[in-house]
Structure 1
Amino acid sequence: MARKFLYFVAGMVVLVLAGAFVFQVYGDELMEVAFVPDTEFTAQEVLENNVYADTNMWMARPELVKNNPALWLPAGYEDMDEAFPEAKKAAVFFIHPTSFLKKDRWNAPLDDTESQARARIFLRGQASAFNAIGDVWAPRYRQATLGAFLTDKREGQQALDAAYQDVLAAFDYFVAEIPSDQPIILAGHSQGSLHLTNLLKDRVAGTPLANRIVAAYVVGWPVSAENDIPEMGLDVCESPDQTRCILSWQSFAEPADYARIIRVYDTTIGFNGQPRKDTALLCTNPINGDISSSAPATANLGTLVPNDDLSDASLVAGSVPARCDDRGFLLIGDPPEIGPYALPGNNYHVYDYSLFWANIRADARRRMTAFLAP
């Protein structure tokens, strides 16, 4: 399912470098030339046992206070609700999206300054939504380069498999390190959510750990409600106060053109071994916290609008609506003025969290409160 799904992220860069017209005419070819490595895949060295005990292997974890991007808040923002007491906080495991764009190798080295800086920007706008309800753990991992999603070469899948091994190692350390009864929230975006779907299948489904999951936010990646969810160990979040369940959405302004995503999605096989073709995507409305619903802009508690250099953002309430369409995509009305990285087809993938940051924050608090209720 990963192959060619993230073409639109490459589109963001291509649009900047080549211009919209060139992208529309030669988009797929340009992206493959620009991003797909032409080198052989080299198997990564297996990480040493317990390597994630080193705080340097994390961009966010409880011990990291200085320059922790997950602790960021918009200027002037203050939570109106009381903080959860220390003994009742969740542990949040967050997997960041693709930040490595180079084509000289298939997996990001851990010391790549550019991709690490980009990942920290993503964490500020995404993982920060969860910092009111618990401690965020966000591992560094040797993620697949963007080009791995844009090719049929077997090296692309090899790169994704290698990245997933790092995620598994980080998650296993995370689970072993936190108290054995601490509630857990799982979250990711894009490539991070791809790894999260597999993690749910391989580490949560059918295990006692499933009972500790408050919710899993599988954002910016297509999930088949029929052919994936039954193998992922949790139910769909059908109501705003439900727990032990999964949320997922992909954001498009209108008119939305997601034909390319559907073409790829319809060629893939679900976790249950059946074709995903013509099955509906799981669509959570992040404003309402339920599925397949509509919400007016007035119900949006706050959208993050970044400044020009992405160093900060302001919170603007009431500007973006949301509704799930029949195929399972989240439609947000007219294109909002949120920044220059809207992608072809009115795809707001880059802003999946930013569009609904305050509502996601409220959603996590509400589910955490319900989870802790006697």
Structure 2
Amino acid sequence: MTNPQKSKFWQITILGAAVFLILLGLLAYIYRDDIFQHIQDPGQPFQTYTPPKAPDYSDSEAWLAQPDLSQDPYELQSKGDVFVVVPSVYRGGEHWNLPSDDLRRKSKLQRIVRPNYVSPYGKAGRLFAPYYRQASLYAFMTSREDAVMAQELAYSDVKRAFEAFLTHSPPERPIVLVGHNQGASHVQRLLADYFQGPLKSRLAVAYVIDYPLLESAFESQLSDLSPCEVETDIRCVVAFGAFVPGDDVIAERFAMRALVHNGETYKAVNGQPLVCVNPLTWTRDTDYAPRRLHKGGVAAEGLDPDMNPAALSQQVGTQCENGLLLVDKPRSASLRRPIQVGAKFRTLPSNLFYEDLKQNAVARVEAMLATGELPVRTQTIEDFDVIEIEDSPVTPVQK
């Protein structure tokens, strides 16, 4: 016969273990982002860290996207040059910065980042997008000095790549500058370092996407520029950080704890006013922009970069509020954030405003060219048609 007391003991033990596991799972779910952040810590000071080998931007292998440089840009139909600084794909854990030979992340950049975050701008001009030793995601989650040094290393690559880009971009071509996520942080620094002088005349537009841009920056390090106010403004900056319902944690991080460069060092946003340009209206007003204005998002994971994916239009309405772009839940599941550990911090395998950005970049390049303010290259002898002249005998004039 079964001992009733022993049976009851095991029932209580099993029930207690089940309750413990449920509570443990619940705590893990509640603190999943903190756990995710903790395991990304490289675990060593940057001062003793050996950085990965620097990319050589004279080598085509150092570029995620680069045009055929043997072609004369004067003969191409696309009239602009586009420099894209790609978003984060490296979470951390072992390194402060993404190793240049990390084939797994290079594959992710090729499969997800290029078709979603680089290709949309191909209609506006020749595409240049460098690989760089991007700072780990962890470096954007802490204010430690190590994190600042990791970001400085990443920017040093972006700066060298941009200077290489300039050697291939002649003065008659407008420049479109693009940064998504971490890339947008570096683009802000490029704007401060290169576009506060003569090069500003070539800037069709700069897109600072999903990284905070302080309004006060236009009173200091970006004083020669201004936020874009309408869809064909030129020599201006479009900025927005998009958040769907349920993004409260990353919205708070964006508006309060994200680190932005003030011209000297990185400081937390700490609630300062942010620039928000609505990508459905291309204005800074706070009116709700309905879904019918949405030109289309794309989930282009794994597509060939030369393909033109069909955009899903009228997916979301948008509204700028307190410097944040509030976005409706997309109708298509393919444009929503995947459910996975650390999903709030991962680069999405889709671009919700793919078609809106694509068309706007073209419009601004065309608007700049229409001003007639950029120089026109003087034709060389090779540009003219050659006319053969036949020898003809000289006939003396009869007196």
Tell me the TM-score normalized by structure 2: 0.74
Corresponding residue of 1:370: 367
Question: Pick from 357, 362, 366: which aligns with 1:360?
Answer: 357
- Structure 2 unaligned runs (5+)? 1-23, 304-308, 372-399
Query: Does the C-alpha gap of structure 1 residues 346 and 35 become closer, same or farther in structure 2, counting only changes over 3 Å?
Result: closer
Q: CA deviation at 1:60?
A: 0.4
- Give the 5 Å matches for 1:237-316: 237-254=228-245, 257=248, 258-265=251-258, 270-271=262-263, 276-293=269-286, 294-306=288-300, 310-312=301-303, 314-316=310-312
In 2, Cα distance between equivalents of 1:269 and 1:140: 21
CA-atom RMSD in angstroms: 3.2
CA contact (8 A) 1:252 1:329 kept: yes
Corresponding residue of 1:33: 38
Question: Pick from 215, 218, 221: which aligns with 1:225?
Answer: 215
CA contact (8 A) 2:240 2:276 kept: yes
In 1, Cα distance between equivalents of 2:30 and 2:218: 32
Q: Which amino acid aligns with 1:298?
A: R
Corresponding residue of 2:317: 321
In 1, Cα distance between equivalents of 2:260 and 2:127: 32
CA contact (8 A) 2:296 2:355 kept: yes
Corresponding residue of 1:141: 132
- Give the 5 Å matches for 1:74-223: 86=76, 89-120=79-110, 121-205=112-196, 207-223=197-213
Q: Which amino acid aligns with 1:281?
A: L
Q: CA deviation at 1:321?
A: 1.2
Q: Which amino acid aligns with 2:368?
A: F
| 2:177 partner SS | strand
| 2:311 partner SS | strand
Query: Does the C-alpha gap of structure 1 residues 349 and 104 become closer, same or farther in structure 2, counting only changes over 3 Å?
Result: closer
Corresponding residue of 2:386: none
Q: Which amino acid aligns with 1:357?
A: Y
Moved more, 346-355 or 195-204: 346-355
Query: Does the C-alpha gap of structure 1 residues 369 and 19 become closer, same or farther in structure 2, counting only changes over 3 Å?
Result: farther
Query: Does the C-alpha gap of structure 1 residues 349 and 292 become closer, same or farther in structure 2, counting only changes over 3 Å?
Result: farther
| 1:135 partner SS | strand
- Give the 5 Å matches for 1:12-91: 22-28=28-34, 30-41=35-46, 42=49, 44=51, 47=54, 51-63=56-68, 86=76, 89-91=79-81
In 2, Cα distance between equivalents of 1:19 and 1:340: 22
In 1, Cα distance between equivalents of 2:268 and 2:54: 35
Tell me the TM-score normalized by structure 1: 0.78
Q: CA deviation at 1:146?
A: 1.6
| 1:226 partner SS | helix
In 1, Cα distance between equivalents of 2:173 and 2:233: 18
In 2, Cα distance between equivalents of 1:323 and 1:222: 16
Q: CA deviation at 1:279?
A: 2.8
1:206-258 deviations in Å (ceiling 9; x for gaps): x2111101000010100111245642242110111100000011111236522
| 2:179 partner SS | strand
| 2:84 partner SS | strand
Corresponding residue of 2:21: none
| 1:174 partner SS | helix
CA contact (8 A) 1:219 1:352 kept: no
Q: CA deviation at 1:157?
A: 1.1
Q: Which amino acid aligns with 1:58?
A: W
In 2, Cα distance between equivalents of 1:235 and 1:352: 31
In 1, Cα distance between equivalents of 2:103 and 2:157: 19
Question: Pick from 326, 332, 337: which aligns with 2:327?
Answer: 332
In 1, Cα distance between equivalents of 2:270 and 2:143: 19
Sequence identity (%): 27
Q: Which amino acid aligns with 2:189?
A: N
CA contact (8 A) 1:300 1:359 kept: yes
Query: Does the C-alpha gap of structure 1 residues 362 and 110 become closer, same or farther in structure 2, counting only changes over 3 Å?
Result: same
Query: Does the C-alpha gap of structure 1 residues 25 and 108 become closer, same or farther in structure 2, counting only changes over 3 Å?
Result: closer
In 2, Cα distance between equivalents of 1:175 and 1:52: 12
CA contact (8 A) 1:106 1:148 kept: yes
Corresponding residue of 2:14: none
| 1:291 partner SS | coil
In 2, Cα distance between equivalents of 1:219 and 1:62: 24
Q: CA deviation at 1:194?
A: 0.7
CA contact (8 A) 1:321 1:332 kept: yes
CA contact (8 A) 1:229 1:235 kept: no
1:252-282 deviations in Å (ceiling 9; x for gaps): 12365223333315x8774499985443211
CA contact (8 A) 2:239 2:275 kept: yes
In 1, Cα distance between equivalents of 2:270 and 2:351: 30
* Bigger radius of gyration: 2
Q: Which amino acid aligns with 1:360?
A: L
Q: Which amino acid aligns with 2:361?
A: A
In 2, Cα distance between equivalents of 1:353 and 1:197: 23
Report how many residues are paired: 330
